[in-house]
């Protein structure tokens, strides 16, 4: 994580970080018009649906990982170069920016941070906004997947049985009371409900590391236990992973297809109700 004041100081350095604006909400308006109305100075807009996700069969999930070459081409369009530090933000408490954080880390970018509290925190700290579209010089970054652990459906099932598989969706979706987008309601059998919104304070910022560590301990996360995370389509699961790392815990394995992939496979069972 990075605080707004820290980002402001970093932007004044001779080699400032590359800033990426990842405004996106499930079922919400496209983020580019909002970006052009006002964004953090030097920021480049990143489209989650088209640049941070691929497109495949329903059993791949709604937001499968983009192809490695596709992500590299997009990152070069954002102006990224090898060795760049990166700061990502959104206007939704980091739950979509975390997708960029996780994906870039997975592709081998070491220094990626999420703006704590997002755009609201930047404005509250007195940060200026720029308006209009942004043109940037093409970068030359080289990306390669494999830096972070991932799960497929079999791995998710095994983690739920022998470790801890955290479901980052809202509790009512986990219990199967509502399901707005996926073909079946419920959760992966054996998973534990862990809404990622509960990692945030009332101001939309990440809870202190000690509080996060206590929360994950209560969910069964402890040394030596294999931990996986999933959500609806692999977006908010990245925020759950971000919270775990912020707590000083090891990076969990992420199931990119998540419940959207699982629920589209009729051979995969689902459970209803609380864990």
Give residue-wise pLDDT tens across range 239-249.
999 999 999 99
Write the CATH number of the domain with boundaries 4-124.
Answer: 3.40.250.10
With a cut of 70, say whether residue 27 has pLDDT above it. Answer: no
The neighbouring-strand residues paired with 192 are 166
Q: In what order do the strands lie in the sheet with 18-21?
A: 44-45, 18-21, 86-89, 112-114
Catalytic (active site) residue 231: yes
Q: Across the chain, what does the average pLDDT equal?
A: 95
DSSP one-letter string for 16-76: PPEEEE----TT---HHHHHHH-B-TT-EE--HHHHS-----GGG-SSPPPPHHHHHHHHH
| pLDDT tens-place string over residues 133-150 | 998 999 999 999 999 999
Q: How confident is the model at residue 28 (pLDDT cuts 50, 70, 90)?
A: low
Calpha distance 163→192 (Å, rounded): 11
Q: How far is CA 139 from CA 18, 117, 216, 230, in A?
A: 11, 28, 39, 32
Q: Which CATH class is domain 153-262?
A: alpha beta
Q: Among residues 267, 266, 256, 225, which one has the least CA distance to residue 56?
A: 256
Total Cβ atoms within 10 A of residue 129: 13
pLDDT category of residue 55 using cuts at 50, 70 and 90: confident
pLDDT computed for residue 99 by the predictor: 97
Could you state, in order of their start, the residue ranges of all structural domains in the chain? 4-124, 153-262
Return d(Cα 67, Cα 63) in angstroms, integer.
12
pLDDT exceeds 90 at position 73: yes
Q: Do domains 4-124 and 153-262 have the same CATH topology?
A: yes
pLDDT tens-digit profile of 76-134? 999 999 999 999 999 988 989 999 999 999 999 999 999 999 999 999 999 999 999 99
* Share of residues in the chain with pLDDT > 90 (%): 94
**Set 1, 121, 231, 237: catalytic member:** 231
Assign 275 a pLDDT band (cuts: 50, 70, 90): low
């Amino acid at each position: 994580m990075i605080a707004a004041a820290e980002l402001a100081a970093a932007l004044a350095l001779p080699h400032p970080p590359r800033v990426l604006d990842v405004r996106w909400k499930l079922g919400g308006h496209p983020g580019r018009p909002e970006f052009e109305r006002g964004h953090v100075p030097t920021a480049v807009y990143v489209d989650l649906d088209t640049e941070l996700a691929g497109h495949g069969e329903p059993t791949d999930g709604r937001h499968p990982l983009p192809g490695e070459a596709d992500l590299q081409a997009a990152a070069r369009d954002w102006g990224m170069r090898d060795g760049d530090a990166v700061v990502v933000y959104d206007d939704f408490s980091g739950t979509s920016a975390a997708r960029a954080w996780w994906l870039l880390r997975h592709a081998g970018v070491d220094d990626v941070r999420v703006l704590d509290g997002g755009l609201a925190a930047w404005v509250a700290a007195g940060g200026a906004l720029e308006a209009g579209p942004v043109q940037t010089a093409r970068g030359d970054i080289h990306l390669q997947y494999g830096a972070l652990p991932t799960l497929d459906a079999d791995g998710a099932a095994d983690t739920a049985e022998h470790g801890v598989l955290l479901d980052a969706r809202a509790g009512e979706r986990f219990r199967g009371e509502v399901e707005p987008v996926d073909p079946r309601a419920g959760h992966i059998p054996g998973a534990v409900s862990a809404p990622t919104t509960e990692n945030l304070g009332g101001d939309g910022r990440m809870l202190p590391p000690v509080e996060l560590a206590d929360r994950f301990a209560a969910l069964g996360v402890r040394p030596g236990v294999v931990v996986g995370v999933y959500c609806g389509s692999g977006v908010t699961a990245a925020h759950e992973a971000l919270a775990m790392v912020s707590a000083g815990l090891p990076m969990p394995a992420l199931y990119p297809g998540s419940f959207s992939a699982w629920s589209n496979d009729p051979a995969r069972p689902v459970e209803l109700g609380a864990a």
